[in-house]
Structure 1
Amino acid sequence: QVDGLNTTLPYGICRVSVDYTMTTEALSAFSPFNTRDLNHPHGVYFGQNLVSGNMILINRLMLQNSNCFILGVSGSGKSMTGKNEILSIVLNTDADVILIDPDREYGKLTQKLNGELICLSEVSENHINAMDFRQAHDESIENAIKRKQSFVLSLCEEIIGGNIDSKARSLIDRCSGNIYRRYIKEQKEMPTLRSLYEELKAQPEELGKELALEIELYATGSLNTFAQTTNVDTENRLLCYDIHEMDEDLMTVGMLVVLDSIMNRISQNREDGKKTFIFIDEIYLLFRHEYTFKFLSQLWKRVRKYGGSCTGLTQNVEDVLQTRESRALIANSEMLVMLNQSGTDRPILADMLKIPESQLPYITGVRPGHGLLKVGSALIPFGNEFPKDTELYQIITTNQDEIQRHKQKNEKSSKQ
């Protein structure tokens, strides 16, 4: 008995030579070997590990590539997860954040963080000039002009609808080159699509007048929102492009202009040594247009070299996985946040990502903010409960019932 007592005391000395078998289940209570914890320096809080109980802190810039997809059905907490990361980036780093918001969910947060909210539509007061000219620090004037000529040509192809023949391409290239060289020489007003329209009409070839007529709707007509001088602060470190009211006729051209503006910003930030985080909500909407889809594919592959990262949010996982090209976007994303999944999406994801059967309950009928994180090869079940009795929660939630209850509560308090 004395030896037994001494063995239990914290001396680290065993005086009883009796061994007992400890089962795996009993051992896991002391050390959960069946999970991985992530605790990166300067990481963003993504919730609590449901197995170990530890916090999950992820710095995406430390991963092999920093791209991410946030997947889940409506109401599963996608936008809350994205907004939580945006808040951490804006408040704790000097990186820039750019949002594409098709459902008008990020405007309130953008304004609270002193960002620039850019609402784009055919009747909006916000304008981005499609022909804005920006020369990179290490770029020659001629190279900058050629780069912009290439963009204007792509823009005209989208406006006209389809490929245009070599004569038309040459004429558009000549006119856009004339416009930018004249601007650089005279340093007057920035050219616009109206400038291109006038230049095409002034050409001796009859084709010039025909091309001018083709782009007239977007240059001087009712869809001329991108043919006006930029009147928003595109240098703000937090930009939110609200495309909620953008008409379908304007969407293709509008997204072409927005994505070109984003690419210019990323290039500028790389030269300035700044990081850029891009968030695209309901990303499947951009898959409908050939140019925007090609742009996203290139961006997902190249953004790491520019010191940036891309995040796509969508509830239509099946749309993302339909083609080989769209599946490549997920393959080029080192991190996936899988929230509650629909019955059709779950087996597709399980097969593609090799998710074991034991992990599927974490993405089946779970509460908002709960799910499965895939970071590299690690699969981590997580839960992230955002405190609801805070002003910040009311800013970032999209639950209309909760917003209405909070509004009524405030009205009642003010009356008292």
Structure 2
Amino acid sequence: SVIHSLLNPYKPFLFDYQRDISAKRLQTTKDCIAPTQIDFRPDGHYNDCVKLDNGVYAQVLVMKKFGSELSDRALADMADLPIPMAITWYVQPMDKSKAINYVRTRSAWIDKEIIEEQRSAVNKGYDFSILPQELKYSKEETEDVLDHLQNKNQRLYVFTGLVYTYAESKEALDTQVLRIISTARQNSIELDTYDYRQRQGLNSILPLGHNHVEISRMFTTAQVSILVPFATQELDDAGGNFYGQNKHSRNLVVCNRKKLTSPMGFVCGKTGSGKGMFTKTEMTGTIFSNPTDEIYVIDRAGEYTAIAERYGGSTYHFGVGTGTHLNPFDTVSVEHMTRNEQIAFKVDAMLAQAGASAAEAGSNFSEVDQSLVQRCTELAFQKAAERGDNLPPTLQDFYDAANEQPEEQAQVIALRYERFVKGSMNFFNHQSNVDFNTRIVDFNLKDLPDSMLVFALINVCEAVRNRMYFNAKRNVRTWLYVEEMQSMFAYPTVLNYFSRFSNEGRKFGLLLTGISQNATAMLANEAARNIVLNADFLMLLKQSPLDRMKWAELLNLSEQEEECIDESAEPGDGLLIAGNARVPIRGKFPSGNVLYDLFSTNPNETKKTGLGDKKDAKPVI
């Protein structure tokens, strides 16, 4: 297929070995690949190119000279040109003893030239110690090569470099050749046409391992290795989502989080660094490439509502007068977990909420408090069972149970929960009316006060956990995005709940993504750092100096990797860590299109389409 693409540009390769190669047809694979004719004197006068049978002009260039300083981007810069091109190397190692003898012989010839130059200088009355610069440089270079061969474990290679390109006209071909030569010259490589010998060049660029070109030069191991164009790590997983361009190679970065050992992830960066764009890009890719997966968003700022509405999802606003209710005691029946085990997990959730509430009030959450919360949670489930209506308990049952306890501390716990049970903030004290039958659900917490954030986060996580069990039985993956993830790591009880929640979620196909703009607050706790280290997916965007230091220490980032997330990083640019791969990302999203208007939350930009604000907006197919 590769040989056919070089000899028959723009032609499809419709080849089947069983069909085309048989005793009846008397054909070989060469017959199916080779063009019907190649004109090595196109138009009767060109000697620097060939004309293939489909009217395409092609040319082979040869690398003739190299500068003393080569860049590791030399061939990569040529390969990155938007030009059809094939770069072929021939690197033939020399026997080490022969290489050393060869270099010594060259050194002896240079010494002879130096002696003759000095004799001539003496005869003419010049200072014999002053040598021509070129001769002096050749002597130093030869001695340096000999030192590398003898003392630095390098070898000597015979190197031949060829570049092949083609175009539909001679004029277009000449333009392409000039661009290639110019790019090579910027990297200290001199390319030249291979006049009258295009046949030898064409046979040599084919990936057959036969070099018919006589132009070559000697390279050491270091010089050969620096010309390797694959100097960056690439990420290209089958069935994955698009995450931007590799900042070095310009190749697309495609990652399949489902293949990671621990698909849990974090997206971290300063305000305006591109967290929303990155997350929405991943969401959109998931929506179209995984038609059965379900996506849930804990949306603190209300910026993902447009995505849900645009693609036929549902948005649930939590706030005064919205009419949205979510019961934190909802449970589901699953085969792997008994009712007592379900209640035990609910106890963890209630402990997390109560612990966070106590910490916000400046109080300690003692073991006595924990015992009381557990007792009241179990009593709430007992009250619901006694009613016999097959409905789960509500916060009212928990509140009543706390008030009925003789301990004084139980009254304090009940008082802390009173604001969630009575008054305007009682939307978590009802049976749930949230419908999970749409693929995309946005839990909009924009109108919630900060004092209710952790309480709401845990309630939503509990609702998604129930749905996760149901999806796992149907072999459906569940994606959960949590904004302001640092809030989940602020209190020990919440951290304990979240650790258990994430570990269990991994077993049931949950792909959890935390979004945070404050890494220092998130990584302040050792247990929180362990959770981050166990995540195989991290997208680090522009960081503040303090946050960057934290990440560099935690992940042992190199100087080059730190540069990807420093203050100079453009919005959308950063460092993607997926498993063992660390890829610098260029994530600038092109403006002036439907998706950009849908994704952008920049207050300085005026959206022209109004997508997501229209109730009758239809999904994009």
TM-score (norm 2): 0.58
Cα shift readout 1:8-65 (whole Å, capped 9, x = no counterpart)? 3425543566641357678666x43321222111110111222222211100111121
* Closer, same or farther: CA 106–362 of 1 in aligned 2, 3 Å: same
Q: CA deviation at 1:155?
A: 5.3
RMSD of equivalent CA atoms = 3.4
CA distance in 1, matches of 2:603, 2:464: 31
On the 8 A contact 2:372/2:410 being kept in 1, the answer is no
- Match of 1:81, as an amino acid? F
On the 8 A contact 2:327/2:429 being kept in 1, the answer is yes
Q: CA deviation at 1:392?
A: 1.9
- Residue 423 of structure 2 aligns to a residue whose secondary structure is coil
Given candidates 383, 389, 395, the residue that maps to 2:592 is 389
On the 8 A contact 2:479/2:510 being kept in 1, the answer is yes
Whether 2:328 is the aligned partner of 1:130: answer yes
Query: Counterpart in 2 of 1:172?
Result: 376
CA distance in 2, matches of 1:332, 1:261: 24
- Residue 344 of structure 1 aligns to a residue whose secondary structure is helix
Q: CA deviation at 1:170?
A: 7.2
Given candidates 213, 217, 224, the residue that maps to 1:20 is 217
Cα shift readout 1:216-236 (whole Å, capped 9, x = no counterpart)? 432233431111232221343
Query: Counterpart in 1 of 2:529?
Result: 327
On the 8 A contact 1:171/1:208 being kept in 2, the answer is no
CA distance in 2, matches of 1:333, 1:371: 17
On the 8 A contact 1:75/1:368 being kept in 2, the answer is yes
- Residue 486 of structure 2 aligns to a residue whose secondary structure is helix
Cα shift readout 1:121-173 (whole Å, capped 9, x = no counterpart)? 34432111223342224544555456556655665666677344588457525
Q: Greater shift after overlay, 347-356 or 381-390?
A: 347-356
Q: CA deviation at 1:108?
A: 1.3
Query: Counterpart in 2 of 1:412?
Result: none
On the 8 A contact 1:340/1:370 being kept in 2, the answer is yes
Q: Greater shift after overlay, 243-252 or 77-86?
A: 243-252
- Residue 527 of structure 2 aligns to a residue whose secondary structure is helix
On the 8 A contact 1:70/1:314 being kept in 2, the answer is yes
- Match of 1:92, as an amino acid? S
- Residue 588 of structure 2 aligns to a residue whose secondary structure is coil
Cα shift readout 1:328-347 (whole Å, capped 9, x = no counterpart)? 12211112212222233333
On the 8 A contact 1:362/1:371 being kept in 2, the answer is yes
CA distance in 2, matches of 1:136, 1:281: 28
Counterpart mapping for 1:23-38 below 5 A? 31-38=228-235
Q: CA deviation at 1:66?
A: 0.9
Q: CA deviation at 1:398?
A: 0.8
Query: Counterpart in 1 of 2:139?
Result: none
On the 8 A contact 1:32/1:52 being kept in 2, the answer is no
Given candidates 560, 572, 575, the residue that maps to 1:369 is 572
Counterpart mapping for 1:39-50 below 5 A? 39-50=236-247
- Residue 10 of structure 1 aligns to a residue whose secondary structure is helix
* Closer, same or farther: CA 9–346 of 1 in aligned 2, 3 Å: same
Given candidates 181, 194, 203, the residue that maps to 2:385 is 181
On the 8 A contact 2:399/2:414 being kept in 1, the answer is yes
Q: CA deviation at 1:198?
A: 5.0
Percent identity reads: 24
On the 8 A contact 1:71/1:78 being kept in 2, the answer is yes
On the 8 A contact 1:301/1:332 being kept in 2, the answer is no
Whether 2:212 is the aligned partner of 1:8: answer no
Q: Greater shift after overlay, 84-93 or 257-266?
A: 257-266
Counterpart mapping for 1:271-350 below 5 A? 271-350=473-552
- Match of 1:294, as an amino acid? N
Query: Counterpart in 1 of 2:166?
Result: none
Q: CA deviation at 1:372?
A: 1.9
Query: Counterpart in 2 of 1:106?
Result: 304
* Closer, same or farther: CA 174–319 of 1 in aligned 2, 3 Å: closer
CA distance in 2, matches of 1:140, 1:108: 39
Whether 2:450 is the aligned partner of 1:248: answer yes
Q: CA deviation at 1:80?
A: 0.3
- Match of 1:120, as an amino acid? F
On the 8 A contact 2:490/2:522 being kept in 1, the answer is no
Q: Greater shift after overlay, 391-400 or 190-199?
A: 190-199
- Match of 2:274, as an amino acid? G
CA distance in 2, matches of 1:358, 1:21: 32
Q: CA deviation at 1:240?
A: 1.7
* Closer, same or farther: CA 80–198 of 1 in aligned 2, 3 Å: same
On the 8 A contact 2:295/2:480 being kept in 1, the answer is yes
- Match of 2:517, as an amino acid? Q
CA distance in 2, matches of 1:274, 1:388: 34
Query: Counterpart in 2 of 1:92?
Result: 289
Cα shift readout 1:60-90 (whole Å, capped 9, x = no counterpart)? 1111211222222221211100110011112
Whether 2:260 is the aligned partner of 1:59: answer no
* Closer, same or farther: CA 346–135 of 1 in aligned 2, 3 Å: same
Whether 2:263 is the aligned partner of 1:70: answer no
CA distance in 2, matches of 1:363, 1:247: 32
- Residue 324 of structure 2 aligns to a residue whose secondary structure is coil
CA distance in 2, matches of 1:379, 1:209: 51
Q: Greater shift after overlay, 106-115 or 287-296?
A: 287-296
On the 8 A contact 1:256/1:291 being kept in 2, the answer is no
- Residue 545 of structure 2 aligns to a residue whose secondary structure is coil
CA distance in 1, matches of 2:352, 2:519: 29
Name structure 2 gaps, 5 residues minimum.
1-193, 611-621
* Closer, same or farther: CA 15–263 of 1 in aligned 2, 3 Å: closer
CA distance in 2, matches of 1:77, 1:167: 44
CA distance in 1, matches of 2:197, 2:317: 75
Q: Greater shift after overlay, 118-127 or 364-373?
A: 118-127
Cα shift readout 1:76-117 (whole Å, capped 9, x = no counterpart)? 211100110011112221111111111221111111122221
CA distance in 2, matches of 1:345, 1:169: 36
Name structure 1 gaps, 5 residues minimum.
408-416
CA distance in 2, matches of 1:154, 1:350: 30
Given candidates 310, 319, 323, the residue that maps to 1:121 is 319
CA distance in 1, matches of 2:297, 2:309: 13
On the 8 A contact 2:350/2:373 being kept in 1, the answer is no
CA distance in 1, matches of 2:587, 2:258: 21
CA distance in 2, matches of 1:311, 1:291: 20
